[in-house]
Amino acid sequence: MQLVITYKEKVTTTSLLVAEKFGKEHKNVLEDIQNLECSPIFRELNFEPSSYKSAQNKDMPVYILTRDAFTMLVMSFTGSSAAKFREEFIEEFNRMEAVLRQGKTPVLIPTYQMRILSESTKSCPYTHWNIFDASHSIMMLIEKHIGSVNKYDLVDGSIGYRWAKYREGKDWAVTYSFYTHEYDDARGSVECKCYQHSEFGHFKKWLNEVYKQTYLPEYLKSKYEKERNAVMLDKVHEILPKLLKAS
């Protein structure tokens, strides 16, 4: 699994990644961070509050941690594997910092490809389709040309939220059902909507003509502005308009 990310040209990690690796509830890691006995200056410099989109398209709190923040946070973690996990994080910090010193662009884990290969939607009934499987083209567009920073990028969550709003009141909209989306991390099993096949043509037309052209740029700009990730924002401003025009 991915242990560190590049943020503001520095190697960092997040409270979500720490929680996943150490097998903790994210809310408990957030509480650990809040209860740390450190100076206000240290906290300001090393623990940056941020947010991510949940599968339900809600803004959820997360901290971006420097190496020093990570070290302070996990010093008190116990358990048979805690020392091993600390070593793995430190090794990854060292590796990525060496990459940055050499002026190379870190190779990012292909987030969406990994999620697709994990067969997270296998419980979806054959009589229905789901947003995740129907949105692969958007995910691959982002991953190939823009890049994804971590596995908590949820463009399919954004698509699902916008689609649910769009189909409201349409005469072709029929009753939807639910399936269990399986995440291979602390999020576990999440109930998600799935739709009857009679709506699929309407979805593909909306995805390419409306979401891709209007909401995708909004989603990416909002996401990277919140993260204050200038590198990814530059890619969105420079590359995305050309891709959309070409499509």
Can you give the length of the chain in residues?
Answer: 247
Which pLDDT tens digit goes with each residue over 161-220?
999 999 999 999 999 999 999 887 777 888 999 999 999 999 999 999 999 999 998 888
Sequence-distant (6+) residues with CB within 8 A of 34 are none
- Structure pTM? 0.57
In the predicted structure, residue 104 carries a pLDDT above the cut 80: no
Residue where the block lists tokens 């803004």: 59
What percent of the chain shows pLDDT beyond 90?
38
Calpha distance 176→52 (Å, rounded): 27
Cα distances (angstroms) measured from residue 181 to each of 110, 178, 238: 19, 9, 34
What is the predicted pLDDT for the residue at 235?
Answer: 77
What is the predicted pLDDT for the residue at 110?
Answer: 63
Query: What backbone torsions phi and psi does residue 5 show, to the nearest 5 degrees?
Result: -135, 160
Query: What is the pLDDT averaged over residues 2-19?
Result: 82
Which pLDDT tens digit goes with each residue over 39-84?
999 999 999 998 776 656 577 888 999 999 999 999 888 877 888 8
CA atoms within 13 A of residue 156's CA, in its CB half-sphere: 25
Position 125: which residue type? P
